[in-house]
């Protein structure tokens, strides 16, 4: 009887654990770096919208020693817009306050290039977080200290997706962020993103 009781409890505990797993959006909202800086940007949430033709992408850079940055691009009907914001402090310390905000029309070729880069990065297929690195044969792992958190959010066809990377290394993922910085008009040096 004890064995049967254990077999019933283990699956029940396993299923209860699955039911409590956070969605990627919940994980993002509970991320220490994200919580710390999100309210300072005065940004509206990137949420699924009723209009299935609306497409939105936003990247947040939270570097330890440089200014946090958010860049959002939106396509609503035939209108394309870019909004770029920078805080005055350091992401790993006092993030500061809103220092710079730029808004401009996004050119169709810039939008198309972003979509190509997102496709190359397989953005919509990436998990929220990377799988933790396995130790090498000596039992060692590489840890990124004092780096930068990169968060890319997207809304397309009424669906929301988010990818969060700390010290990203995958070139196709980096290319998305670097493209958005380049077209943002914020005059960000690449070293400020890491």
Q: Is residue 50 part of a domain?
A: no
In the three-class reduction of DSSP (H, G, I as helix; E, B as strand; rest coil), residue 49 is classed as: coil
Q: Is residue 8 part of a domain?
A: no
Q: Is residue 47 part of a domain?
A: no
Per-residue confidence band for 179, with pLDDT thresholds at 50, 70 and 90: very high
Q: Residues 21-33: pLDDT tens digits?
A: 566 656 655 555 5
Q: Is residue 174 part of a domain?
A: yes
Rounded distance, CA 82 to CA 102, Å? Answer: 8
Q: Is residue 86 part of a domain?
A: yes
Q: Is residue 69 part of a domain?
A: yes
Q: Is residue 14 part of a domain?
A: no
Q: Residues 98-140: pLDDT tens digits?
A: 999 999 999 999 999 999 999 999 999 998 887 777 778 888 8
CATH (domain of 90): 3.30.1560
Q: Is residue 116 part of a domain?
A: yes
Long-range Cβ contacts of 160-163 (<8 Å, 24+ apart) = 160/25, 160/46, 160/47, 160/48, 161/24, 161/123, 161/124, 162/24, 162/25, 162/28, 162/128, 163/123, 163/126, 163/127, 163/128
Q: Residues 36-78: pLDDT tens digits?
A: 567 788 887 777 677 788 999 999 999 989 999 999 999 988 8
- Domain extent at residue 87: 56-130+142-187
Q: Which DSSP symbol is given to 101?
A: E
The structure's pTM equals 0.80
Domain count, the chain: 1
């Amino acid at each position: 009887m004890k064995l049967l009781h254990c077999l019933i409890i283990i699956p029940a505990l396993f299923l209860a654990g699955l039911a409590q797993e956070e969605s990627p959006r919940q994980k993002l909202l509970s991320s220490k770096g994200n919580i710390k800086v999100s309210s300072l940007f005065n940004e509206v949430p990137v949420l699924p919208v009723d209009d299935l033709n609306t497409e939105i992408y936003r990247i947040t850079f939270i570097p330890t020693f440089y200014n946090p940055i958010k860049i959002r691009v939106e396509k609503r009907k035939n209108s394309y817009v870019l909004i770029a914001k920078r805080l005055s402090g350091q992401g790993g310390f006092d993030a500061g306050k809103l220092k710079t905000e730029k808004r401009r029309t996004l050119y169709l070729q810039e939008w198309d290039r972003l979509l190509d880069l997102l496709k190359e990065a397989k953005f919509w297929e990436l998990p929220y977080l990377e799988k933790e690195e396995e130790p090498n044969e000596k039992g060692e792992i590489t840890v990124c200290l004092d780096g930068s958190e990169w968060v890319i959010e997207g809304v397309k066809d009424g669906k929301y997706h988010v990818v969060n990377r700390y010290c990203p290394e995958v070139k196709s993922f980096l290319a998305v962020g670097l493209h958005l910085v380049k077209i943002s008009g914020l005059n960000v040096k690449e070293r400020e993103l890491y």
